[in-house]
Amino acid sequence: MPMHYINLSGYKFTKLNDLEKFQHELLTTCQHLGLKGTILLSSEGINIFVCVKPETLAPFSACIHAIVGPLTFKESPSVEIPFKKMLVKIKPEIITFGVEGIDPENAPAPGISAQEFKAWLDAGKEVVVFDTRNDYEVRLGTFKNAIHLDIQHFRQFPEAIKKLPEEYKDKPVVTFCTGGIRCEKAAPFLLQQGFNNVYQLEGGILKYLEENGHAHYDGECFVFDKRIAVDAALEESDTIQCHGCRQPVTYEEQQSTEFVEGKSCPRCFA
C-alpha cells in the first residue's frame, strides 16, 4: 500500500498539570501541521490517535516529547485520512475505568513483549489469555482460545472479573487490548484482585500483528477511526460500519440479504 499518510497511536501515563495550556499548544501545533485525529489529556497522562504525513511526523513527535517526554508510537499506513477533524480534549481519565487506586505510572503490571508472547504460544505454555476489549471488537478478531468477558464498555471490566473462576488466580495471565492502554489499568486491577501472575501485552494487538502477523491470531483488529478494522498486515480491511446500529460489518456479513447499505446489517435487521 502506498504510504500517503501514517496513522499514529500512542499513550503515556505521566502526571500532567496545566492541561489547558497543553491543550492550546497541541491544538495549535496540530492545526499548523495539518493533522487530524484526537488527543486526550488528563492529569494522568496523554492518549493520541492522529494521522500525519511522513514529513510532519518529526515536528509532531517533537511537540509531544516537549510535553510528556519520550513516547513510542504504533504506526500504520493509509491512503486517506481516517479522521474528520482535529480534537484535543481534556478528560478525567485518558481511558475510562472508574476504579480508584490504579496507578499505571508508578505501579504497573509486568509487561510481556509481542515476541515473547508468541514464543509462549508457540511452545503451548499454559496461560490464561484475557481479551479486555468490548464485545463488538472481539467479534472481529482475537487470539485463539482467548477468554473475553462479554462487556460492552471497559467500565464493565471490574465487575465482569468477579465472575471468573477462582483457579485463574494461580495461573499465568496475559491481558491484551488494541494498543495496550486498557491493559495498563486492567492488569494492575487483576493483581489488586488477587491474581498472582499477571502480564500485559506490550503494544497490544497492533504491535503483535506488526511483529508476528496472524500467528495465533484469528480475524481482524477493530480500530477507532473510519477505517473500522485492519488486517494482519495492518492495512485497512473490507469491514464497514452499519449505518443503523453502528456495529462493524465484515465483508462476509455484507453478502447477507439482511445487509442493506445505509440502513441495516444482520445484527439489527429485525
Q: Give catalytic residues, as residue numbers.
A: 177
State the CB neighbour count (10 A cutoff) for residue 42.
17
d(CA 49, CA 40): 9
Residue with cell 486526550: 40
d(CA 52, CA 124): 40
Q: Please, are residues 245 and 256 in contact by the beta-carbon 8 Å criterion?
A: no
Q: Following DSSP, what letter does each residue of 162-176 receive, concatenated? A: TTS-GGGGGS-EEEE
Q: Tell whether the torsion through CA atoms of 119, 124, 128 and 131 is positive or negative.
A: positive
State the CB neighbour count (10 A cutoff) for residue 252.
11
β-strand 221-222 against 74-78: which pairing, if any? Answer: unpaired
